[in-house]
Amino acid sequence: MHFFQPLRSAFFAGICLFTSVSLLQGAPEALSNHDAPTYFSVEECIASMVLTPKSSSFTEFEDEFELICWNIEKGSNPGWEQELKTMAQNTQLVLLQEAIFVDGMKQPHEEPLYWSFAPGYETKAHSSGVMTVSRMQPTFFCSLEATEPWLRSPKKTSIVQFPLGYEGHSLLLVNMHAINFTFGVKAFAAQLDEVGHILEAHTGPVVFSGDLNTWTQARKDVLMPFISSFNLTEVTFEPDHRSFKMGHPVDYIFTRGLAVKQSRVVEVDTSDHNPLIVTLALLPHESI
């Protein structure tokens, strides 16, 4: 009974949400302010890795760089814009889940930024989905969609690639908002499996992060072997102020080919999730 009471509450909350949400009709599947090609299938994403041009002048990741991962709860709480702006002041990469298509999320500080937005669903006020913001233009943007089995609403995964200064390597950045309202783990595993095909085709450094909705041990039992199979390492936080649901953390950052220099969780009142901030540095490419 203790397990199913919060699950039942989450289900009915989701049903109520769904009645006020209409799926995108005729709207673009993805939006960006850059010229990088956008793809909507695993096959296209993998093919684009082969076609990605080489870069010998890319310098953004030569030293340490900072990344923020945050489910911003659709900007529904006052103060989020100033909080995001303050956190993103010296950050190269911002990965938002439950982002809305507004300037405060697309451009969280004065310097012009590149943004890639994969909308999942819309209300009368806003489109919401996953937003990846960067100081450098990606070489491609992949927008993958999974469907909530109960609510039939879309959940998106954004994947962008950045070239590195040595031949044949690039940084792959995965921003996922995982399927939530299910009893079993089949749909969750299938969503991960799509990303897995892309990770398998990528030979360079990786950041895989987002709100993974791992609120049961069964979901964690799917996630952790997946992470291990691609040689990804979980970023840890001390103290761990990540958002916990039913006793389990739901937000993660995993890396490959990167050294973690610093990690922290910022406690906020502007979302039901606390943002994760990590400072990373490239490892020598021979060790990836």
pTM of the model: 0.87
| pLDDT in the model for residue 55 | 53
165 dihedral zone (left: phi>0; alpha: psi -120 to 50; beta): alpha
| pLDDT in the model for residue 285 | 62
| pLDDT in the model for residue 254 | 98
Q: How far apart are CA 157 and CA 195, in angstroms?
A: 8
- HSE of 95, CA atoms in CB hemisphere, 13 A: 26
CATH of the domain at 216: 3.60.10.10
Place of tokens 């030979």: 203
State the total domains in the chain. Answer: 1
pLDDT digits (tens, 9 = 90+) for 81-130: 999 999 999 899 999 999 999 999 999 988 889 999 999 877 777 788 99
For Cα atoms 216, 241, 248, give the angle at the middle one, nearest 5 degrees. 5
| pLDDT in the model for residue 26 | 39
For Cα atoms 229, 131, 190, give the angle at the middle one, nearest 5 degrees. 35
Domain span at residue 65 reads 4-287
Q: How far apart are CA 115 and CA 137, in angstroms?
A: 8
| pLDDT in the model for residue 75 | 93
Place of tokens 């919060």: 6
pLDDT less than 70: residues of the chain: 1-29, 52-60, 62, 165-168, 285-288
pLDDT digits (tens, 9 = 90+) for 24-55: 333 445 789 999 999 999 999 999 987 765 55
Q: How far apart are CA 46 and CA 6, in angstroms?
A: 39
For the chain, give the number of residues. Answer: 288
| pLDDT in the model for residue 109 | 84
| pLDDT in the model for residue 15 | 38
CB 48 within 8 A of CB 140: yes
Tokens of 132: 């990846």
| pLDDT in the model for residue 163 | 86
Q: Give the SS3 label for residue 6.
A: helix
| pLDDT in the model for residue 168 | 63
| pLDDT in the model for residue 160 | 97
| pLDDT in the model for residue 255 | 98
